[in-house]
Amino acid sequence: MPLLTTGKPFIRDLEQSGALGVYAPLEGGNEGRYLRRLRATGYESMTLSARGLGDLSAYLTGVHGVRPPHVGKKEIRTYFIPPMLETRLATMPATAKGLVLWLIDGQVLSTQELTYLSQFSTIDPRVKIVVELGGDRQFSWVKLTDLLAA
């Protein structure tokens, strides 16, 4: 891998497909470089872990209930949290190109969840999605639609 990379092919593929699956070296560092290049081209970024997300459509675009762990004699309460993407899109500056949702630990997602994420850009074209699907020797990416078709 070259020491300096512009990231233009990555950004071009992300804008065309709307959702990419990436394979990054396990020692890290490449994700930050590509996120920095996305921010430099005008995108806002949001990083989440895919572990424990539950229902993706409810968590990302709808109001959803969360129950904290029960620790004894307290009553069980449900707290309602606003949608993650909708609140972030509402506060995004008008000059931004869009929002990039970067999901780490994406290998735990099912095929149905990956299909939903690959079609998310048709639901809201302002949102681009990058899912880390595992480790590799060099940073590489594939369109999620191509990955699911195989």
Which pair of structure tokens corresponds to residue 119?
């079609």
pLDDT at 125: 92
pLDDT at 4: 56
Superfamily (CATH H level) for 8-53+83-149 = P-loop containing nucleotide triphosphate hydrolases (3.40.50.300)
Q: Residue ranges of the domains in the chain?
A: 8-53+83-149
Full-prediction pTM beyond 0.85?
yes
DSSP letter (8 states) at residue 108? G
pLDDT at 54: 83
Give the DSSP per-residue string, 8-62: HHHHHHHHHHSEEEEEE-TT--HHHHHHHHHHHTTEEEEEEESTT--SHHHHHHS
Tokens 């904290």 belong to residue: 68
The alpha carbon of residue 44 and the mean position of all alpha carbons in its chain are separated, in whole angstroms, by 12
- Residue 66 burial (CB < 10 Å; 0-12/13-18/19+)? exposed
pLDDT at 5: 65
Tokens 């709808």 belong to residue: 62
62-101: per-residue pLDDT in tens?
Answer: 898 888 887 777 788 889 989 989 999 999 999 999 999 9
77: CB partners within 8 A, 6+ apart: 67, 68
pLDDT at 119: 92
Report the distance separating Cα 18 and Cα 39, nearest Å. 16
Sites in the chain below the pLDDT cut of 50: 1, 3
pLDDT at 1: 47
103: CB partners within 8 A, 6+ apart: 47, 48, 49, 50, 109, 117, 129, 130, 131, 132
pLDDT at 28: 80
